Structure 1
Amino acid sequence: MTSVRTLLAVTSVHQWSLSQMDVKNAFLNGDLFEEVYMVPHPGVLHNPEEVCRLRKALYGLKQAPRAWFEKFSTVIGSLGFQSNAHDPALFVRSTFIGRILLLLYVDDMILTSDDLDGITQLKLALHDRFEMKDLGPLRYFLVIEVASSPKDYLLSQSKYAADVLQKACITDTRVANTPLELNVRYSPSDGTPLDDPTLYRTIVGSLVYLTITCPDIAYVVHIVSQFISSPTTLHWAAVICILRYLRGMLFQSLLLPSTSTLELRAFSDASWVGDPFDRKSTTGYCIFLSDALISWKSKKQ
């Protein structure tokens, strides 16, 4: 997701066009170079000892994602694009007018460039090789809502956050000013073990994905994630506090302004033996592309 935020930040600064495309039945385009056999479909007449040899990848096949990416990489490479060294799913091509960037995520892709004719030609070339759908200007990508203006981009997961709140079955409307109580410390032995930890694990997993646009909960989500194997009532209370904080911040967005430079800045800090139980430190960092926050993490050393 860092690549998505970085791409949007660069696009905002240069005020390039931004569009989205979708590949239909992407995994069916992959070519198989090894022998793979499968039991014939029940509706196909065959002898009991007969099996089918696959010529193309199918959904559910372990090799399908790799085969699809290799096929797409070959096609996009034939169009003059090169894969980025730091993110193989980011493809770049320089033209006489400017530069075209394509970011692929399974069967979804984001296109941006200052070369409008180059974008049009690229879409036509991809349509010739794959069955694709042009989704127009980028508005929604992997449950991330994207709003744009001539001056900035706004990234939000408000709908996703509302779904998480509904999934947690919180009936009251109370909100919290902070996602975690001040100076609180949690240990694996705190509280009573939950009878069924399924909901705890589901909500915490959803919160991890929500940190894509909510850097302010990265640390607290890191805390509650440590007890995913055997959560207790006290740990669940901490999760409820995070959810009530999110309810009060539901419609806040991550701003990627255009009135900035492409200067890269990074900040980091660490607690000194911050965990009183295992004596480990927690490291946090954030990276800015000028005024745009594009990457962050909180992680125990």
Structure 2
Amino acid sequence: MIAKLEKALYGLRESPLLWYNELSNSLEEAGIDRTDEEPCVFTDGKILVLVYVDDILILSPPQEQDSVDMLVKHLQDKYDLREEDFKWYLGIRVMRDRPNRKIYLCSAKTPTSTKLRESSISATQNFECHRSRSQPLLSLSMMDRLPRRR
């Protein structure tokens, strides 16, 4: 039996590019365009979509929840998606301060996982990510200033 492969997404050297193009096209169908500055950041001016391989993070102001729901539905119709709580992204702990509308990133690796010398602080000891000194990674009002690809 001879079969012709119509579409390959996995197992080839070009697979990451094929997946990126596939996802980009799906986001464009939903009205979300890639920014010129960063190929893995997509926006429509209200919703911000960050993509790293198969990790997709969607950020938006609360009043855009209906638009986010429509985008998620559009993607779920095409792909097998799993929604999770926004606590970790790319191995970085994410802490949300909803009342102040801020997002903090915290590297939570232990000394043994980063090959640092041991210290007197226990790896299992609770830690605080110094919120008072941190700057938010992204202010939601910044989304209005993001350039859009035309």
Q: Normalising by structure 2, what TM-score? A: 0.71
| 8 Å contact from structure 2 (residues 9, 19) kept in 1 | no
Write the distance in 2 (CA, Å) between the matches of 1:261 and 1:141: 18
Q: Say yes or no: does 1:256 pair with 2:135.
A: yes
Unaligned stretches of 5+ residues in structure 2: 143-150
Per-residue Cα deviation, 1:28-70 (whole angstroms, up to 9, x for no partner): xxxxxxxxxxxxxxxxxx7xxx8x6533324331010001111
Classify the secondary structure of the residue corresponding to 2:11.
Answer: coil
* Equivalent residue runs for 1:1-301 within 5 Å: 53-94=4-45, 99-114=46-61, 115-136=64-85, 138-149=86-97, 150-151=99-100, 152-159=102-109, 161-165=111-115, 170=117, 173-174=118-119, 251=127, 253=129, 255-257=134-136
Q: Distance in 2 between matches of 1:66 and 1:261?
A: 30
Letter of the 2:36 counterpart = A
| Runs of at least 4 residues off by over 6 Å | 260-263
Deviation by residue 1:1-26 (Cα, 9 ceiling, x = unmatched): xxxxxxxxxxxxxxxxxxxxxxxxxx
Residue 147 of structure 1 contacts residue 155 of structure 1 at CA under 8 Å; is this kept in 2? yes
Percent identity, aligned pairs only?
26
Q: Which structure has more helix as a fraction of its residues?
A: 1
**TM superposition score normalised by structure 1:** 0.38
Residues 56-96 of structure 1: CA distance to partner in whole angstroms, max 9, x if unpaired? 324331010001111111111111111101011111114xx
Distance 1:262 1:83 in 2: 19
The answer to whether the Cα contact below 8 Å between 1:139 and 1:146 also exists between their aligned partners in 2 is yes
Structure-2 change in CA distance of 1:261 and 1:108 (3 Å): closer
Residue 66 of structure 2 aligns to a residue whose secondary structure is helix
When Rg is computed on C-alpha atoms for both structures, the one with the higher figure is 1
Q: CA deviation at 1:262?
A: 7.1
For residues 248-294 of structure 1, give each alpha carbon's deviation from its aligned partner in whole angstroms, at most 9, with x where no partner exists: xx946372349x8979xxxxxxxxxxxxxxxxxxxxxxxxxxxxxxx
Q: How many correspondences in the alignment? A: 131
Matched-pair contact (CA < 8 Å) for 1:156–1:252: no
Q: d(CA) in 2 for partners of 1:134 and 1:261?
A: 21
For residue 147 of structure 2, what is the aligned residue in structure 1?
none
Return the offset for 1:131: 1.0
Note the residue ranges of structure 1 that are not aligned, 5 or more in a row.
1-45, 176-243, 264-301
Q: Distance in 2 between matches of 1:59 and 1:79?
A: 24
- Equivalent-residue separation in structure 2 for 1:160 and 1:72 (angstroms): 34
